[in-house]
Each structure stands twice: as C-alpha cells, then as structure tokens.
Structure 1
Amino acid sequence: MRNAQVALLDPLGQKIATVASDDEGRFRMRSVAPGVYQLGAAAPALRSPSHRLSVRDGLPIEIELRLSPQLSESVGVATEGNNSGGSSGTTLAGEAVRRAATPLRGGALRAAVAATPGWTSEDNGLIHYRGVDDGLLFVLDGIPVYERLDAQFGVGFDPVNVRSVRVLSGYVPPQFGLRSGGVIEVRSEAGSIDSWSGILETGVGGHRGQALSGLLQGPTGRNASLTLSLGGERSRRFLDPVSLDNLHNQGSTGGGQAEFIWAPGPSVVSLRAGHARSSFDVPHDEEQEAAGQDQRQKLDQTFGTLNWQRSWSSAVVSQLALFGRFTNGRLLGSASDTPLFSQADREQDRLGLLAALAYERGRHRLKGGFEASRLRLHESFGFFVTDPDAGEGAGLSENVLEHHANDPFDFEGSVRRPIYSFYVQDSWRPADRLTVDLGLRYDRSHLLLRESQWSPRLGVSYRFGQATFRASLNRFFQPPQTEFLLLSSSPDAQELSPFADELGAGGAEIRAERQTAIEAGCELWLGAALRADITVWQRRIQNQGDPNVFLGTTIIFPNSVDRGRAKGLDVRVELPRRAGLSGFLTYTLSKIDQFGPINGGLFLEEEIIEIGPGTKFTPDHDQRHALSGQLSYENERRGLWVAVGGRYRSGTPLEVSEEGLVKLVERPGADLVDLEQQRVKPYAVFDVQAGQRLIRRKRFELSARASVLNLSDARYAFNFGNPFSGTHFGAPRGARLDLRLALR
C-alpha cells in the first residue's frame, strides 16, 4: 500500500523512526543500530501486527507487514528466526534518553543507562556495571570511543542528536574490546535525503540552569545528506558538590558537530567531525571557601571519523573506518588553595583504523575484523602544601607534607604507544529455536606494559514457547585508564603510596585488567502484555581498575587492585505500551569483593585502611541493592504524556580506618551515614514529568515539558569521606521547564 506509515519502536513502544512506503508498498530504513525493536505499519483504518525484530551485524533484513482493519492496538509477537544469541540487553529510543529525569542534559544518556539491568549510579553521573568500576565502552555509529566521557574527563552526548541506544550485556561479540566491562551502542540522528528538518530545544532549571540545543538536517544532493548540531548548557550546580552548601560549583559545557552522509547504491560513506569543551569550578568545602580557593578545570575535545560501509550482496557487508579523538584537559590552581596547591595539564591523542566483514551463509553468520590505533599521552602535574597545619588536619601523609612551595611535587611525562586487535565470530543456528555464538578476540597493548590476551566468547540461546533461555561466557582484556596513567604508574607516585612496601607488593605499575564473566538468564513473555527478564551473573577479575579521587578535586587517577570478584542478580519487568500505558521496573542485587594490594594511583591521605597482599575489602562502588522504575502514559493524538519514576540505592561503603571514622562524625552531612554499618544511608528519589504539545502546524510543532526532580526533597549522599571517591551530596528538590520546536 502506498504511503503507509512504518514505525520503528523500542520495546516499550517509544518511537525511534518512521518512513512512508512507496507506490509499490515497499519501505527502507537505514542506520538502524543493532538491538531489539518493534516494527509495525499503519494507514487510515488499517494496521499491521507489531513484529518483534532483532537487528545484528549490519546485514539487511527483509520483513513483510500485512495491513488489515483493526480497531484495537496491535499486539507484539516474536519474529521467527530472530534469536539474539546469548546477548541480552536493553534498547532505548532517543526520546527515552531525552526524557530521562536529570537536572543537566549532559547526564541524560548516563541516567537512562543507569535504569537498565546490572547498572548502578554514583556521583557526577558515574555508572558502574556488574562490579566493574571503570571500563565502559561507548560505540557511536559503529566507532568505539575509549576515552572517559563523564563530566570530569569529557563531554557526553547531547540528547538532541541521539536516535537510539543499545545497552548490551550477556554474550559480548568479540568486535567489542579494550573497554568492554559494559557496552553502550549509540546511534545518532541521520539526515534525511528527502527534505530538510530541524529541532530547537531550550530549557531552564534550578541553580540558574540553562540549556540550548539545535539540530538541522536534510539533503545536499543526490543520495547525500548533512546533519548539523550545536548545543550547550550551564549551571551553578554543575557537579555533585562536596559540601551541603553547594560551594564553588559553576560550570558550562558546549560543542557542535557535522556529519555528511553519501549513500550511492549499496555503499554508505559518512564523514563526522566535531568539537566540545567544558569549563567548571572544582567544588570545595567550607574551609576552602573561607580561604578563597578558586580551582577550575577546562577541557577541549576534538574528534573525527571517516566510515565506509558497503553491502556487497544481501549476505555480505563490510566496514572500513578511520577515527581520531584529541583531548586536552587542564586543572588550574589558585593562590588561595588550601591545604595544597595543585595544577595539571594532560593531552591525549588517539588515531585508529578498523575494518570488518560480515558474511551470512545458510545457518551461519560469520564476522571478522581488526583494529589498530596509536595513542599519544602527555602529562604534567604538580602540587605543594600551602598550610601544613590544615594539611595535617586533612590527614595528609608525612611524605606529602614534605612538599612545600620551595620543594614542590613535580611530574612530567610523554609516550606514544600502539594497541591492536583482531577477532572472528560465528553465529550459528543449528535449529530454528537454537542459536550458538562463538567468538575469539586477540588484543595486544603496549600501554604502558607490553601485554596481550586471547579472549574466547561463547553464547547460547534457546527459545521455547514464550520463553528464551540463554547463557554466556566471556573473557575480557582491558588496558588501564589512560587519563593520568603516566603519573599513576610512575616511581614518583609510588613513593607517596601507602600501599607500597619494601618488597614491591603495592604501588607498582598498573597492569591490564583481565575478566572472566559468566551469565545465565531467561526472557519470558507473560501473555502479550508483560515481558520479564531474569539474569544471574558472576565475574572474576585480575588487576581490577578502581580509580581514586585526588583530595576532593575532580581529578581521578587510575589504580588497580590485585584481584576482585562480583556476583549478582538482575531483574527487569517491562510493560510495552498498551492503551497509552507503558512502564518498567529494574532491580539489581550485587556483591563485590576485592583483594589487595593496590597498585598505581596517587594517594595523599595517611588514614587509609590497610590493604596489603591478600587483604579482602569492599570497594567504593559496592551498591548492594539498586532499584529503578517508571510508569508513563501517552496520548499521541493529543500530544500529552505523563511519567512518574524513581530510584533506590542502598548506599556505598566508607572504606576508612577506625581513626578516620572518628573524624568523619564531625563533618557536615554525617547524619546521612550509618556509622555502625560503615555505609552511606540508603536513599530513594522520585521524579514527576509531564509534556504537552502546544501548537501543531504543517511546517512546525511546539511542545513543552515540565519536570519536578526529587519530589520529596530527600537528603542523601552518594559517598562520604571515601579515599577512593571522596564526598558528594545529591541534589535537593528542583524543577525544569523545557521547550521543543520541531521544524519540517
């Protein structure tokens, strides 16, 4: 049928993209990221059933949608032969990201991911996955991003330019590595080759928060399109503060990018380039405020990719890409810094090449590829104690107190190092209901030590009626965090480490993290209206990365723990949209243990718990219980939607010595800590949002969204006095008002 509207939806029914069928009733959707979707079509008085669709490896999928008269909403049905192997995860529409309840738009993607199974959240938008403190791999339109993108180290994704997100778990295809503790695939908005369109979004909120973003996209010639985006925001509560009074916490971020896509026939060539920057105060406490401390941090980030994908046939797809990211970050000290003055400058440049080939034959789907990159690191860092009495009161060690203005701690280093990988995979369907994924990856890193690993991956899934059972086994290899790696692995830092001993049992160079991850789970459809997913998992880790914060600043230094283990249970229940209602509930139970000694990092405090070889301790990201949920109603015809959501966290450990515990009682905010359990007290936060279409015309549409965050005005802390993560307090009740203008 001509002009039928075909819609691609996420599993909860949120729209991702729509296209119209041609004169012969055919339709085509490009740039669909791997993930699980619903696909359906509608025309006046006609509607097709909703098909559940799994997209993998970029190979084309043909599907037939039959329209028939229907008066009620269609029901999601499983599509035969679309098992997703041992992989599990969650697919989110870009609109779900934009509606994430967060005071700053830059944290929307991380907030949305933190509500999916296996993830927990901490201060400043940091998220952890299944016992892994670091190691998140963002993949933007098929290109991996290995650099940290949290607020302290980078600029995240602007929600206006996010089309869909796939949060991957279970079996992780071997094409993903080096930072594969958790994989987050982001698909950006792709320009239309039919007509020009645009989006303008603006918002205001508490603490003088202001945001403005714009997107413009459309055709630039035959089979070509251009997408331009620009945005920024600022706030007087830019980060989660270290003081209840939110002292010295103003910041801003902004950036833009352009993407040109040329799609002649079976090829798609894309060129993307962009720049982003942030500038913000380093939050401080009451004593530093009285002294006039004025530390600031600035960051510049430039990136570019050239990507060529080609479908040689319906069974063969190739990819070849060049990519680069260039980062410069600076910590600027001030004359009134107390108890010590510090400054830092780091440069990080990465140039890379990747290639992949996917081939489908019969019941086998083969894929192989390689990746090579060269990384340049340059770091300079220095500090000296400005007030010995205040430094002693802050718990600085004797070795640190020896560095004064005439004898500062001073470090500078620079390296250029290669990293390369290759992989092969076979996704095999020996039977219609059974899928077996077999993969092997090899990584070799010279960062900073020469290390390598063969990493096998195995995933199995079997569909029985309305249930799909799955299991997976993954080996991961992860070089250490590159930000401030040179300093953290240096003899200069080892001299200050409280974990170093004469036998070299701690404080040494940081080695690559090696993980073994096991998962078993079941996806179950309860009728057609409810989906449940239950997973049990376990991880064993050597040289586990667990960065530490530098004395209350926003600088974080990488370090590693000799070994760790984590286990847990993930449960997610989804209510796909029906009669306008949709919702989800996610629960994660986890237990994390680590064993010393600790290598790397830059530790200044004296009163840190003793962690020697074999010492068992609970890390700062051990969040035993994490619960997130949302219930929403949407009336598409009236342009109205309402959502009520919330999250519960059971609290992180303190990780301080007995003497340090006594001093914590005197700090502001100590009432938010259970000193007997030595954990931050549990907290629950609830948010309410509502949106309404105000004007709809042929060429434009105007809508508004109002949000009340932390509705009950709960007081809570993310962490408190922790030598690895410091002290950070959550935001009080706040409100936001956002406007969105869509031009067609």
Structure 2
Amino acid sequence: MRKILAVSLLPALAGVAFAQVNTGELRFQITDSAGLGLKSTIEVSSLGNQFRTTLETDDLGRTVAPRLSYGAYNVTIRHTGFASVSKTLEVRSAVPAVYTVKLAVAPVATVVNVGDEATLVDLGRPSSVMQIGSTEIEQRVTSLPGRSVQDLVNSQPGWLYEGNAVLHPRGSEYQTQFVIDGIPLTDNRSPSFGPEIEADDLDSMSIYTAGIPAEYGRKMGGVVELNTKRNLNPGPHGELSISGGSYDSLQGYGQIQDTWDKNTLGFTASGSMSAHYLNPVVPENYTNRGTTGDFSVRYDRDVTPSDRLVLYVRHELSRFEIPNEMVQQQAGQLQTGGNFETIGTASYQHTFSPDSIGMLSGMVRDNAKDLYSNENSTPMIAFQHNDFREGYVKGTFSFHHGIQEIKAGLESDTTFLHENFNYTVTDPTRFDDSTPRTLSFLGQRPDLEESAFVEDMIRLGKWTVSAGLRYDHYQLLLNQFAFSPRISVGRSIPSLKMVLHGSYDRVFQTPSFENILISSSPQIDELNDDFLRLPVRPSRGNYYEGGMTEGFSDRLRMDVNFYRRDVSNYADDDQLLNTGVSYPIAFRKAVIYGAEGKLELVRLGKLTGYVSYSYMVGNVWYPVTGGLFLGDDADVATSQLNGHFPDSQDQRNTVRTRFQYQLTKRLWAASGLSYGSGLPFEFDGDPSDALAQYGPAVISRINFDRGRILPLLSVNATLGADVYSSDKIKMRLQADGDNLNGRLNVIDFGGLFSGNAIGPGRSFALRLSTSF
C-alpha cells in the first residue's frame, strides 16, 4: 500500500481567528486510506516567524492552527501505527485553508522529511516585520510589574524607552498603538498612563515600523500586534506562574481554558506588587510602590460551519505612588496615581465562500486615570480625575482572487473625554507672581474618528506587492481628513535565500488626547500673563524604508533596514507647570533617519541568540505649531521661528544582544546586554543647583557641555531548568539577574520637577511556571 498525501483547498469549516492583518489559518482533516478520521498529533513550526505549536485532532481527525502570520510553515503529522508525514505549507491568505491528509500504515510507507530551511526567510514578504514567538516570550528576562510587554518590544531594533517604560519607535512621541486580537488601542499604554496586558497572556507578537498595512492608522509611529493565548486542543488546559525578587516584587498569573464540542471558554487572572513600579528621579527610589490586577474571560463558539462568535471581557487596574525628588521627600509629599480599565469586545465572522470572508467587530471601553496629592506636596497640591468611554466598530471583507489577496474595511471610533483637574500652590517661590494660587478645571468633549481602507497583496512570481489606500477623518478640537497611500514591494532571490524590499507609507497621526482639553482651554490663560495657545493639528508624514533579509542555511538570518521619516506638525509633549500633567504640543517638522540591523542565530548546535544595532538621527524644526506655552516658554515659542534641535529620542547608537546555550536536556543559560549612547536633554538651571538636588551620583552621568546623558549599559543573565516534564504537566524554574554591572543608568534628565528617570539597579528575580 502506498502512503497518499492529498492536499486540497476546501471551504472553511469555520471562520479564522479574529486577529491581525497579515494572518491566516490552517485547518486539518486527518484520515486513513479509507477516509476514516484519525486522532493525530500535528506539529506546526516556522523559524522565521518564531512559531512552534503542537495540536491534537479530535476523534474525527480535525483541528485548526489559528492566527498564523503569513509565511512558510513546516507541518509534521503523526499517528501511532501510521507513517508520519512532513510537508512545508505556506499561509498567504486571510481565507482559511483546509488540508485533508491521508495516512498509510507504517510498514510500507516512505517517510518524507522536510527541514526547516524553507521557513527561515519568508520569500513572499514585501516589507520588514519583527516577530516575537512563544519561546522568546516564555524565556524572557523577568520584568518589573506593568512593563513585561514593553520590555519585549524594547528589545527590538528601532525602539527606545523614555521614563516609565514609554515606548518610542524611530523617534516618535506617543505614537504607538497596540492591537490586541485585532482591536486597536491608541492611547499611551505605559505603566504610568494605563495598565498593560501581561506577556504571560500572549502567544506571539508582530511589530511594524514600516510597510504598515493600510488597515492601521491614527497612531503610526509603530504598530504592535498582540496575539493572546488560545489552546484549541480538546479538554481543559491551564497555566500558573509566580515570580518574586528585588524591590519586594511579587507577581502571579493564572489561566484556565476548556474546549468542548464547538465551544472554548477561558479565564485569566494576574496581580503584582513592587517597590519599583515607576522609574525614580533619584537613586534613593523614594515613594515608588505599586500594585496591579487583571481579570479576563473569553468565549468562542463555532455557531455554524461558516460562522464564529468571540466574546471577550477584561478588567485591569493599577495603583502606584509617584516617585519623589529630594525636596519633595523632605517636605513629606505623597502623590498617588491609579489607572482603571474595563474592555468588552465582540466579533462575528462569516465565511461566504472558499475565497471570501467577512468580519464585524466592536469594542466598548471605560478608562480612568487618577492623581492625588497629600497636604505636604510641593510645589503644589494637585488632583486629577480623567476618564473616557470609547466605542469602536470595524467591518472588513477579504477575498482571494488568483494572485491577489484583497481586503477592504470601515471603522469608527468615538471617545467621550472627561477631564477634572485642580491644584493649590504650596511653594509660591517656584512660580511667577501672576500665577494663580488655585485652579479648578472641568471639561468634556467627544473625539470622533472614522476611516476606510482597501489593500491588495499581489504575488507575481518572485515579486510581491502590497498596495493600499486609507481615508481618515478626525474631529476633536479641529476637523480634518486625509488620504494615505501605502505601498511595499519585495523581490525574492531564492538561490540566496534573500528578499530585497522597499516601502513608502503616507501617515496621518492624530494628537494624543491626554489632557488636550485643559491645555486648549482659555481658562488656562490665567496661569501666566505671557502665554501662547495653539490648536494641535494631526501630524502628516512620509515614511521611507529599504532593506533586505537573508538566510544562511537554517542557522542564521540577517535583517538590515535603512529608513527616513519626514513629518510635519511633529508631535511632542510638555508639562503643565510643576504638576507632572502632560499634554500634546507640536513643531513645524521633524526629519528622522537611520539604519537598523539584526543578526539572529536560529540554531548552532546548542546555541541560539541575536545581536542588533540601531543608528538614529532625529532633528525637530521650529516654530511651534500647536500646544500650550507659558512664561519663558511662550517667549521662546513666539520668538524662535527658525533653526532646529535634537529630537528628544535622538539616541544615536543602540546595541542589544542575548544568547542562550542548552547546557543539558533540561538546563539552559542565557546572557545579554543593552547599550545606549544616551539621550539629549535641556537644562536651564545652574549645574550646582542640580548637584544639590540630585547628588553627585546622578550628575556624574550627565554631560552638561554636550547636553547629553552619558551612555547606558545593562548586562543580564538567566539560568533556567525544566524541573518536571510529562505529557500533561510541564514545570519550569528560571532565575534572572538584570543590570549585573551595577551602573547607574540615567534615562532622562531635565531639571527640577521635570520627570527625570533612572533605570533599575542591580536586581534579581525567580520565576516558576507550570502548564497543564
């Protein structure tokens, strides 16, 4: 008897997972030679996408591999008594593909072995996309609470931290959006601004900084797609993780899920506490405790063979202290903040034909941010309660036609903003005589944003072209719209395992709505006799990128990119007096250019790892074109009409590396480092005053003559062990050390009450993870 492998594209048995743009789904039907279903094990892996999973079919031989990024995958199918089958399959369409595989009995079968070389480089990808898979997520260095996802993103070339884990992609300020299972969140997701989804909740991540599909808009510095975990194997499954370490940090995560018949129901919960929640402003780490909590439930149902419904609810919260400077600590100041968020989403997908699918999804979100100050706060007692309710709806239709993958959609996002702020001055010497000693502001307004898009992925032999057009309408303080064309072109050279690519993105970026109402209110004119207040217009820009990806055997992959960004009405932020309350501002234009490279050792015996390098130059041009400016800042804003200055994220050189070695079958060790040449800063005061305020340790890391912070360096190491492993239960113990070199890393420096940020010192953590 000959073994038969019959692969055919059939109508989808159900809709694909509600996930990201360039993703598809493989559905399998495993049978014997007589056509009877076989309960089998299927391994799906891709070196290029850092993806690996093991699936179990049901008694009829059916299962699904959802949320697969476009690319090549090695698929191995096994069933006791039958010959295993290995084959490389490509995912190139959002339309689900069903593969029927017939197995023959083992004694007379010829096993086909397919290596992973074909999955190392995606020869059909027209632009650069950074992928973080489940293995890298699971074996990451343990993060401080509230920043596990941010730390993973920050490990990629082109991304930088400012204080409190605020991500800045390629010089952009507050222009990062996170897309969680297809739902975009465009507000700031750093620990001090909003609670995060924990990395333990994720299965994979895809990160765009160029070649961004037309489906994404509004916040365009960088797009981070997050795929949450979902085990479709029948029966109950779960995971439990607990970690603790330096700074009195303690974190816990739990997840349980059950799949039966056409249903999947899952619950997650997590919590954490730490004495180093935000980045302190002085090494003493005054008043910096924080706690977080997160609870979610998700329900999936295959309503019919062509319809799937997904319902999801998540509640997150964080409460934390605001770090004091020395003078504030001496005065007895205690400021506390809090973020609270509840998200509900619903998605429905229908398969119209073997070549077309449609999806309708929506979200309702309540978000609140609080700031409280005790009576000893200086130079003022500040109170804030900002909240918003967001309603989001999106509909898309995708179809496959010959060499084309076409997708079109509409989306609407309505956010009702509410701002409540007041202060009382306690140290008048820090302010102009004209500054009111008290202020109370209460405002509300809707933010209306609508968009439409169409995009087409065309495959012409060795050429792949992604072309799209997006329309955006923005109405908050201004009423503006824009059309944004996007195009990416890739050319594969299979003999060299190489892809050359280039992209152009026209972007329309809406301003951050954080405190935009108070900064645009005439009531704030009372704060100073000299003021300048201009409406903040959306940024418009042109992004260019060219680069290559090349694979060497199945061991090494090299990515190199060169880019330039030209942006008008360049977005930045400023602070209201000495309150720490930030709001958006804008300058005439910015030009940011640079180069990035990453060399990834996929496997060399027992060794894996990567080294990456980023070079970036960013300059911003006067005059200011939007925002609120008071006192001396207003004088400068009105008089400085020409010239330029370094972008606040203008760190010229950044190096990151991490390598892992498998010591034994169950024991592994890893080490890496992060280096940055230092950010620019502005300081109008006397260095002697800064020395008295911050001490010699901080000032020794500042170069006042150059206006730059001295280089940052942090070395980390990990030792991990699989302490128990069976078919049903796996336990892993991991010990981490960070900043083992003990350097005082000053991230930001700007003077008194200006939001300085100092990185964590030498720290250690221990994490135990169990899955079943």
Q: Same fold (TM over 0.5)?
A: yes
Would you say 1:6 and 2:38 are equivalent positions? Answer: no
In terms of mean alpha carbon deviation, does 260-269 or 76-85 score higher? 76-85
Deviation at 1:31, TM superposition (A): 3.0
| Pairing 1:399-438 to 2, within 5 Å after superposition | 399=434, 402-404=435-437, 408-429=438-459, 431-438=460-467
Call closer, same or farther: CA 1:61–1:619 in 2, change over 3 Å.
farther
Call closer, same or farther: CA 1:353–1:18 in 2, change over 3 Å.
same
1:718-742 per-residue CA deviation (whole Å, 9 max, x = no partner) reads 0112699631111111100111122
What amino acid sits opposite 1:172 in the alignment? I
CA distance in 2, matches of 1:65, 1:707: 46
Would you say 1:225 and 2:264 are equivalent positions? Answer: yes
CA distance in 1, matches of 2:729, 2:687: 59
1:131-159 per-residue CA deviation (whole Å, 9 max, x = no partner) reads 21121111111111122211111111112
- Specify the alignment match of 1:341 in structure 2: 381
CA distance in 1, matches of 2:246, 2:219: 35
Could you list the runs of 5+ residues in structure 2 that have no partner in the other structure?
A: 1-29, 31-37, 104-108
Conserved? CA contact 2:121–2:557, under 8 Å? no
CA distance in 1, matches of 2:377, 2:151: 33
SS in 1 for 2:136: helix
Deviation at 1:169, TM superposition (A): 3.2
Conserved? CA contact 2:146–2:198, under 8 Å? yes
Deviation at 1:673, TM superposition (A): 0.7
Would you say 1:142 and 2:182 are equivalent positions? Answer: yes
Conserved? CA contact 1:620–1:655, under 8 Å? no
Would you say 1:616 and 2:657 are equivalent positions? Answer: no
CA distance in 2, matches of 1:464, 1:65: 34
- Specify the alignment match of 1:490 in structure 2: 521
Would you say 1:205 and 2:245 are equivalent positions? Answer: yes
SS in 1 for 2:164: helix
- Specify the alignment match of 1:19 in structure 2: 55
Conserved? CA contact 1:282–1:553, under 8 Å? no
Would you say 1:451 and 2:480 are equivalent positions? Answer: yes
Would you say 1:587 and 2:613 are equivalent positions? Answer: yes
SS in 2 for 1:308: strand
CA distance in 1, matches of 2:725, 2:210: 43
Conserved? CA contact 1:628–1:646, under 8 Å? yes
Conserved? CA contact 1:548–1:723, under 8 Å? no
- Specify the alignment match of 1:503 in structure 2: none
Deviation at 1:97, TM superposition (A): 2.5
1:658-714 per-residue CA deviation (whole Å, 9 max, x = no partner) reads x45564344321111112211010011111112112223454332211101111111
Conserved? CA contact 2:569–2:589, under 8 Å? yes
Conserved? CA contact 1:444–1:453, under 8 Å? yes
- Specify the alignment match of 2:595 in structure 1: 569
Would you say 1:737 and 2:770 are equivalent positions? Answer: no
Percent of pairs identical after alignment?
23
- Specify the alignment match of 1:691 in structure 2: 720
Deviation at 1:489, TM superposition (A): 2.2
| Pairing 1:597-616 to 2, within 5 Å after superposition | 597-598=623-624, 606=632, 610-611=636-637, 612-616=640-644
- Specify the alignment match of 1:242 in structure 2: 281
SS in 2 for 1:152: coil
Could you list the runs of 5+ residues in structure 1 that have no partner in the other structure?
A: 501-505
Deviation at 1:323, TM superposition (A): 0.8
CA distance in 2, matches of 1:671, 1:265: 66
1:554-582 per-residue CA deviation (whole Å, 9 max, x = no partner) reads 54322222211100101111111343321
CA distance in 2, matches of 1:310, 1:642: 46
1:664 aligns with one of 681, 685, 690: 690
2:509 aligns with one of 478, 499, 502: 478
Conserved? CA contact 1:471–1:521, under 8 Å? yes
Conserved? CA contact 2:533–2:629, under 8 Å? no
- Specify the alignment match of 1:299 in structure 2: 339
TM-score, normalisation: structure 2: 0.87
Call closer, same or farther: CA 1:175–1:12 in 2, change over 3 Å.
closer
- Specify the alignment match of 1:351 in structure 2: 391
CA distance in 2, matches of 1:625, 1:65: 54
Deviation at 1:326, TM superposition (A): 0.9
CA distance in 2, matches of 1:582, 1:536: 26
What amino acid sits opposite 1:486 in the alignment? L
CA distance in 2, matches of 1:177, 1:652: 28
Call closer, same or farther: CA 1:106–1:489 in 2, change over 3 Å.
same
Call closer, same or farther: CA 1:442–1:428 in 2, change over 3 Å.
same
CA distance in 2, matches of 1:591, 1:189: 38
What amino acid sits opposite 1:648 in the alignment? Y
1:186 aligns with one of 212, 215, 226: 226
CA distance in 2, matches of 1:443, 1:682: 40
2:411 aligns with one of 332, 348, 371: 371
In terms of mean alpha carbon deviation, does 490-499 or 178-187 score higher? 490-499
In terms of mean alpha carbon deviation, does 362-371 or 162-171 score higher? 162-171
| Pairing 1:18-37 to 2, within 5 Å after superposition | 18-20=54-56, 28-36=63-71
CA distance in 1, matches of 2:762, 2:724: 30
Call closer, same or farther: CA 1:267–1:76 in 2, change over 3 Å.
farther
CA distance in 2, matches of 1:585, 1:68: 41
Call closer, same or farther: CA 1:513–1:226 in 2, change over 3 Å.
same
What amino acid sits opposite 1:631 in the alignment? F
Taking only aligned residues, the RMSD between alpha carbons, in angstroms, comes to 2.9
- Specify the alignment match of 2:677 in structure 1: 650
| Pairing 1:497-536 to 2, within 5 Å after superposition | 500=531, 507-536=533-562
Deviation at 1:528, TM superposition (A): 2.8
1:408-460 per-residue CA deviation (whole Å, 9 max, x = no partner) reads 1222110123211001111112x211011111000001022101100011111
CA distance in 2, matches of 1:487, 1:310: 44
Call closer, same or farther: CA 1:686–1:5 in 2, change over 3 Å.
farther
CA distance in 2, matches of 1:266, 1:198: 28
Conserved? CA contact 1:36–1:91, under 8 Å? no
1:460-518 per-residue CA deviation (whole Å, 9 max, x = no partner) reads 11101321111111111111111211112223446658995xxxxx5311111111101
What amino acid sits opposite 1:460 in the alignment? V
